[in-house]
């Protein structure tokens, strides 16, 4: 990781009418880290990601992404990022390969088929390359979506609640993909409502509540904010098995000395 943050935010605010969604957000995301942004519905996570990905403008404050000022170097920011939203943005009529080639064309890249084939292999989609994306499972569509976001090799990825609506198997597939991205040294800003997701994937975690960051740090640091654990003794009721063994004796014999091979009716 470099010492310069991949994302740096100071005093960011955003309101919609009388509704203040972001209230002076302060945040620094280290380069090469998976950074989880936790918050309940309405906390402002998606609004913040939309601002950082240049889809919306802040009312006040300053932000820089990949070293580029969000307000004055918007084009540079867009070249440095990719965004995967809550729902896979794949064209279900096109095949997996065609989806990838289309994005490569939109980014004005050469060797589009080679780029597509490389990403299909990296994301375990080679066997489904020529099938329509509409027949993909939820996990496959999400993996294709993330693969599409990597075209152009952006150093910063925004994953906005990437496992929303996925079943357990599909969620685990996406988790494995995110771990692979982290292993490649990319910076990933992950927004999620799922605490387990952040615990499994994130190097650092921030909690966004009512438009402000109220806590930030590694998982051990956040756990350290809580008071020490108290040891409490709870009365435990015996199970039927324990009752039976206590009555017949642990040696497998009844108290009258006869073998306890069966319970009499």
Q: What is the pLDDT of residues 106-124, one digit of tens each?
A: 888 999 999 999 999 988 8
Q: What is the pLDDT of residue 8?
A: 96
Q: What is the pLDDT of residue 85?
A: 75
Q: What is the pLDDT of residue 27?
A: 95
Q: What values do phi and psi take at 261, rounded to 5?
A: -80, -15
Instruction: Give the list of residues 6+ apart from residue 119 with CB closer than 8 angstroms, or none.
Output: 100, 125, 147, 148, 150, 151
Element housing 160 (H / E): strand 156-160
Q: What is the pLDDT of residue 245?
A: 65
Domains of the chain are 7-90+154-223 (3.40.50.300), 236-265 (no CATH)
Q: How far is CA 83 from CA 18, 105, 107, 119, 265, in A?
A: 28, 18, 14, 17, 67
Distance CA 64, CA 80 (A): 11
pLDDT-flagged residues of the chain (< 50): 1, 251-265
Distance CA 204, CA 218 (A): 4
Q: What is the pLDDT of residue 260?
A: 45
């Amino acid at each position: 990781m470099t010492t310069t943050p991949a994302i740096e935010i100071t005093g960011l605010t955003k309101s919609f009418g009388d509704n203040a969604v972001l209230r002076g957000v302060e945040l620094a995301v280290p380069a090469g880290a998976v950074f989880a942004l936790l918050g309940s519905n309405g906390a402002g996570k998606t609004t913040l990601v939309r601002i950082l990905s240049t889809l919306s403008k802040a009312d006040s404050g300053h932000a820089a992404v990949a070293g580029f000022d969000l307000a004055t170097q918007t084009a540079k920011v867009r070249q440095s990022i990719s965004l995967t939203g809550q729902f896979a943005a794949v064209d279900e009529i096109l095949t997996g390969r065609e989806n990838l080639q289309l994005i490569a064309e939109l980014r004005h890249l050469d060797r589009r088929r080679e780029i597509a084939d490389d990403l299909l292999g990296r994301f375990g989609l080679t066997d489904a390359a020529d099938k329509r994306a509409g027949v993909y499972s939820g996990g496959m569509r999400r993996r294709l979506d993330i693969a599409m976001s990597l075209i152009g090799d952006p150093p910063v990825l925004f994953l906005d609640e990437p496992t929303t609506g996925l079943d357990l198997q599909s969620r685990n597939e996406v988790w494995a993909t995110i771990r692979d991205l982290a292993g490649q040294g990319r910076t990933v800003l992950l927004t999620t409502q799922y605490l387990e997701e952040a615990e499994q994937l994130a190097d650092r975690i921030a909690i966004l509540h009512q438009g402000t960051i109220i806590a930030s740090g590694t998982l051990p640091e956040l756990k350290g904010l809580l008071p020490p654990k108290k040891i409490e003794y709870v009365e435990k009721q015996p199970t039927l098995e324990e009752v039976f063994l206590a009555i017949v004796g642990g040696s497998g014999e009844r108290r009258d000395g006869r073998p306890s091979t069966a319970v009499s009716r």
